[in-house]
Structure 1
Amino acid sequence: MKNHNSFIFSDSTLRRWSFFSLISFLIIRLIGLIPPYFMKQIIDVEIPSNNLFNIFSNIFLFVITPFIVAILQTFFNYITICISRNKGNEIAIQIMKNLLKQPLSFFDNQNSAELLSYSGKESVNYIYFHLSEKPKYYAHIITVGIIFTILFKFSPLIAFLQLLFIPFAILPIKLFSKKLEDSIEIVLKKNAKINQIKTDLFRGIEFVKTMVIENKKINEIENANAKVVSLWGKIAAIDSLSSFWTSGFLTPLFTGLTFGLSAYLAVKSNLSIGTIVSILSYIAILYAELSITFQTQIDSRKQEAENQKLFSFLELTGELETEKEIYNFECKENIVFSHCYFSFDDFSLQDINLIINKGSWTGIIGKSGSGKSTIFDLLLKLYPLTDGKILIDQINLNEIKSDDLRRHLTRISQETFLFPGTIKDNMLLVNPNATNEDIYKALSSACLDTYIDSLPNRLETDVGEAGKLMSGGERQRLSLAQGILRNTPFLLLDEVTANLDSKTEQSIRENLYKLSKEKDITIISISHSLDFLKYADIIYEIQDGKVIKKDYYNGFKTIK
């Protein structure tokens, strides 16, 4: 498993705070070592000398020290949490940016609910762990070394006995850590699967109801949840067992052994009562420090397991970063598909040759699955060509910036997608500067203005999730209006009248033709309806991934 600590140390703010944490925690831990010294001083020196002032002075320091430590710890935790929260939010936004920059092929191989689950997972706990717990870990190790030195000065035998605590603790801890890591990875995968089932349930609610499969899907969720609960029980048991091993078994065992050895040394040598009390206090701190150290190792493995996928998204290089484009989009003459090949799974485009002249209307027809829509995918650089090239005014498409290309080409598909909100919200999404007049002109071109005016709230009408409060034809026309409002020099129309009646289709055709002439818009239109392509300057027919015919509208109309 890859360790992502390098992320912490690559950020200057986190790196500085992590180092400051180490120093601060070390100071706090060293302050915590003072009280046992006061205990020895009181018992061995101040009580025998009947010095009440010094006794109460030492007791006061003994009491006030933990209070000072608690105040420092609270203040430091507050600052660390604030830093972790801010940085965690930055990471979440960066991961979402990285995901959105990925080529379409990336999403073809990903589970959408899993992406949602991981991209929505907060990294705050991970950041906090490395800003707080990891520095503590190293501070605890240094503190352990100091305590060993103190104990060695009291008695080398007692110090040596404490060294045996480490191997007895560390071997089982490693075993526990590996089992925890494996279990957590399984839980994360199963949770992603559960989220996908839930997402699909609501996404396909109409199908679920009409097929009466509600119970079947609920049973799938219940069975998956039961497995997750079982795994969490296993994780909790392993976690508890690891804590018990060090705190519940080894600590009492070694405390008893140390006390017995101290008593023996008190009898056989000059080890004072104050020293014994001090030793017992120091070993209590020692065992606590060691237990925390071992637990931090386990928690570190848990954090890496929980966040491995999350940080793999942070390391993604998007399509915009990996391309070596040097040109902005500009088309004054034509777009040429020259001997283009593309393959994906069992589908392929073979030797596609097209010429799309600036300001023209180009039609593409063919049966479903013949590869028509894929031509738009390639032109928008959503997928790379397998072979051949696409030229825009003799410039290879691969040398044109993807984001600038997509700012000039608008694709309007029969598969509409609307965001929750109002009609106006969805329209302004593609053109934030559009006025109400601009919006109504676009709606009119899409033959939707009369429908909008019939609504009580007009443009402020809520469309619902994915536009489910509108009919299929209304969504399709609204999607067309969005594309027109975007006001780009190229319109890629993908079956935009598939759900419309012939009269509405004819009206939209006339409006688009008029718009293309007024604004010099180049139209590339995929359609099952030959009549929609009445004004096309040229029509290509695609069959089985190949161009089998090129002709004018009348040529195809005569055959029909």
Structure 2
Amino acid sequence: MKIVLQNNEQDCLLACYSMILGYFGRDVAIHELYSGEMIPPDGLSVSYLKNINMKHQVSMHVYKTDKKNSPNKIFYPKMLPVIIQWNDNHFVVVTKIYRKNVTLIDPAIGKVKYNYNDFMKKFSGYIITLSPNSSFTKKKRISEIIFPLKKIFKNRNTFLYIFSLFISQIVALWFSIILRDILNKSHDITYSFIMMISLVLFQTLSLLMKLGAQKNTNLLYESKISRQIFKGIFSRPLLYFRNNSVGTIIEKINLRTGIRDGILLKIFPSLLNFFTVFIVIIYLGTISFTLTLFLVIMNLLYMIFSFSLISIKRQANIQYTQQTIDFTSVVQEDLNQIEQIKAQANEKECVKRWTKKSAQTIFSYNKILNIDGITSAFNQGFNYICVILMMIFGIYLNQGNLVSIPDLIIFQSGISLFVSAVNQIQDVMFEISRLSIYGNKISDLLIENPQRIDNIEKHSNNAIILKDISYSYELNNYIFNNINFSIKKGEKIAIVGKSGSGKSTLFNILLGLISYEGEVTYGYENLRQIIGVVSQNMNLRKGSLIENIVSNNNSEELDIQKINDVLKDVNMLELVDSLPQKIFSQLFENGKNLSGGQIQRLLIAKSLLNNNKFIFWDEPFSSLDNQNRIHIYKNVLENPDYKSQTIIMISHHLDVLKYVDRVIYIDDKKIMIDKHNNLLLNDSYNSFVNE
């Protein structure tokens, strides 16, 4: 079964679903199973899964089994593969049931094998089966990365790279031939010296060709793959970043170099080395067919045994990876709760928990060391035995004048070459499998999402007009349905409502960050260049203070008076002036040398500067005390200097309602927009603001 790795913890079930569809012959990537821009906030609901089942013509059955039975009684061969719940919060695919072990594919790490006891500890008891309907059709899918890879590697650079590797292999073989001739005294010293100089020149030529080809391929890879991935990431809607953590996205970005290095540094050299072995076999066959046959038989035996060791080591690596992931999860969870741990003096419990998890990781790692030790001992033992047998057999043939002593030296070199080729072809098989998984994992980033084109009426008196706007996370489950209103230029608007009412969703619709049904029209030309934003997740960058609040910080174009006026209005001028270099003072990463309230006030200042005319604030006062909050209300919201700037904000501080022109109140999927005093006549609004 083809392995599909999850993008994040939320879509592990979709990864399993994709694997089952692939098993039935329908290749579908995870991103193709999303019915919208993200998994709904409440997870994969029944209706969500029903829509996927209908789209891909499969039937789904979910049932709970008795965990008292052993796996071979719970799962019978004809029902496999199936999806099962794992550790109560995860999903995996069971592929094989053996007498004592269970093989499954975990979308977090890959194929894993468990004994019955360990399997039943993690198995939650729930089974999901999928079966094709009568209308089911098979579909082959070509990964989005294949086409750009062909463009990169199907050219002159690849030919030069492979040719340089081929020269290098020939030089190695040539060296053995020259050494044999020297020992046989076939040529004089001058001839041998010239041949050795030629070897060095060809090896140097090979190296130069290889470096040139690699550099050119790297540049081409950057332009065709890396740039497209970067464009694909930034073309994603906002909800993509809500559904994928920063770590997940960085992991995907880093996979691109793994694919390049795997092809250039492992697959190409290993395949060429393997094919070069056939040339060596032919050459050795001309020297002694008997010794060559002996060498081939010995290496076939080595290949069979080493493949079994590789399989065991791969399994041990997966288990070690899982233990490392478990340990990291525990550490991250505890560090996120460090304030509570310190307050409740739970440090000893944490140390005990970490020690236990770390010990499990070390146990898995020791298994890898044992396997590596066995593998190393086997390789050395094989080389010793093979060389000794080769010498014994060779000396016997030498006595019959069938081979010479120099010939035996060549065959001894052949043993190392054969062993290396076998090891490399194993690496190639593993690498191709790994790169296939990596390619599928980043394939969605190679697709550039079409960008919504903003509707603009630059001469309108309205900053924004919403017409028949509807939005839903799931089909027919609307959060908003056919809403209509407009906001005039220069208005100050507050969006309020109970938690979960849809304030952030409406805010993102107004800002144009999520897809919706209906039409939004803006009254500003070059809209995206004049928008100022303060969001809950924003922070400051490492650099000077001025670089953080002004887009163009060219000293000749800076309006210092304007900057100081805005800093004064957000109550930051006094603090900035107290710094050694004032507005040119350096800030740490994420503004760590400032308090949360100071960071928030600088972000508000940034949104008001840079010729921004359309301002969006999402909880801009969450870290501010009453004094600073009221200061901004009076010096920004009521200040005539900002009368031309439209400000739309979400705030749970209801004291701001007296300072804005109108209020958008969201209640039970309905939207009311009016002045604060007028809305107080509504019982629901009155009750909300006076709770």
The TM-score normalised by the length of structure 1 is: 0.77
Match of 2:501 among 363, 370, 375: 370
In the alignment, is the contact (CA less than 8 A) between 1:114 and 1:195 conserved in 2?
Answer: no
Match of 1:355 among 485, 493, 496: 485
Aligned to 1:49: none
Deviation at 1:488, TM superposition (A): 2.7
8 Å Cα contact 2:493-2:649 kept in structure 1: yes
Residue identity in the other structure for 1:427: I
What's the secondary structure of 2:483's corresponding residue?
Answer: strand
> Are 2:247 and 1:107 equivalent residues in the alignment?
no
User: CA 1:310–1:142 in structure 2 vs 1: closer, same or farther (change >3 Å)?
Assistant: closer
Relative to structure 1, the CA distance from residue 126 to residue 473 in structure 2 (aligned partners, 3 Å threshold; closer, same or farther) is: closer
User: Which aligned pairs between 1:281-360 and structure 2 lie closer than 5 A?
Assistant: 281-300=409-428, 303=431, 311=439, 314-317=442-445, 321-323=448-450, 325-327=452-454, 332=460, 333=462, 334-336=464-466, 338-343=468-473, 349-351=479-481, 353-359=483-489, 360=491
2:295 aligns with one of 152, 158, 162: 162
CA distance in 1, matches of 2:377, 2:440: 34
Q: 1:522 aligns with which of 646, 650, 657?
A: 646
* Most deviating of 425-434 and 366-375: 425-434
Kept in 2: contact 1:418–1:426 (CA 8 A): yes
User: Is the CA contact 2:167–2:206 (under 8 Å) kept in the aligned structure 1?
Assistant: no
Once the two structures are TM-superposed, the CA of residue 532 in structure 1 deviates from its matched residue by: 2.0
Deviations 1:58-112 (A, max 9, x none): 6646866776676567656766776688788877776566545433333344344
Q: Counterpart amino acid of 2:636?
A: L
1:307 and 1:41, CA in 2 relative to 1: closer, same or farther beyond 3 A? closer
**1:215-260 CA distance string (max 9 Å, x none):** 5555555545444444444445445544554x42444444444444
Provide structure 1 residue ranges, at least 5 long, that are not aligned to the other structure. Answer: 47-53, 395-399
Conserved in 2, the CA contact under 8 Å of 1:412 and 1:479? yes
2:520 paired with 1:426: no
Structure 1 pair 330–202 and aligned structure 2 pair: CA distance change class (3 A): farther
Identify the match of residue 556 of structure 1 among 658, 679, 684.
Answer: 679
Larger relative contact order (Cα-Cα within 8 Å, sequence gap ≥ 6): 1
The residue matched to 2:541 in structure 1 has which SS? coil
2: CA distance, partners of 1:8 / 1:109: 27
Q: Offset at 1:262?
A: 3.9
CA distance in structure 1 between the aligned counterparts of 2:312 and 2:189, rounded to whole angstroms: 51
Checking the alignment, whether the CA contact within 8 Å between 1:165 and 1:254 is kept in structure 2 is yes
Among 521, 524, 541, the residue aligned to 1:392? 521
- Taking a change above 3 Å as real, the CA distance of residues 442 and 230 of structure 1, as seen in their structure-2 partners, is farther
List per-residue Cα deviations over 1:144-177 (Å, max 9, x = no partner): 2222222322333333333323432333343344
Share of identical aligned residues, percent? Answer: 21
Q: Secondary structure at the match of 1:384?
A: coil
- SS class of match (2:481): strand
1:23 aligns with 2:163: yes
State the alpha-carbon separation in 1 of the partners of residues 404 and 621 from structure 2: 90
**Which letter maps to 2:667?**
Q
Once the two structures are superposed, residues 457-484 of structure 1 have per-residue CA deviations (whole angstroms, 9 ceiling, x without a partner) of: 4324455443344333323222211211
Instruction: Identify unmatched segments of 5+ residues in structure 2.
Output: 5-142
Residue identity in the other structure for 2:676: Y
Structure 2 residue identity aligned to 1:315:
S
Cα separation, 2, equivalents of 1:291 and 1:243: 12
1:34 equivalent in alignment to 2:158: no
Q: How does 1:32-71 map to 2 (within 5 A)?
A: 32-38=172-178, 41=181, 54-57=187-190, 60=193
Task: Tell me if structure 2 keeps the 8 A contact 1:409–1:492.
Answer: yes
- The structure 2 residue matched to 1:474, chosen from 556, 578, 598, is 598
Contact 2:271/2:425, CA 8 A, preserved across alignment: no
State how 1:396-475 maps to structure 2 within 5 Å: 406-413=528-535, 416-428=538-550, 435-475=559-599
More helix by share: 1
Contact 2:551 2:610 in 1 (8 A): no
Moved more, 472-481 or 461-470: 461-470
Specify which of 247, 264, 282 is matched with residue 149 of structure 1. 282
The C-alpha deviation readout for 1:271-306, integer Å capped at 9, x for no partner, is 2xxx43343233223222222222223434565677
Looking at structure 2, the residues matched to 489 and 514 of structure 1 have their Cα atoms a distance apart, in angstroms, of 16
- The residue type paired with residue 472 of structure 2 is F
Partner of 1:248 in structure 2?
A: 380
- Cα separation, partners in 2 of 1:550 and 1:327, compared to 1, 3 Å: closer
Change (3 A) 1:391 1:383: closer
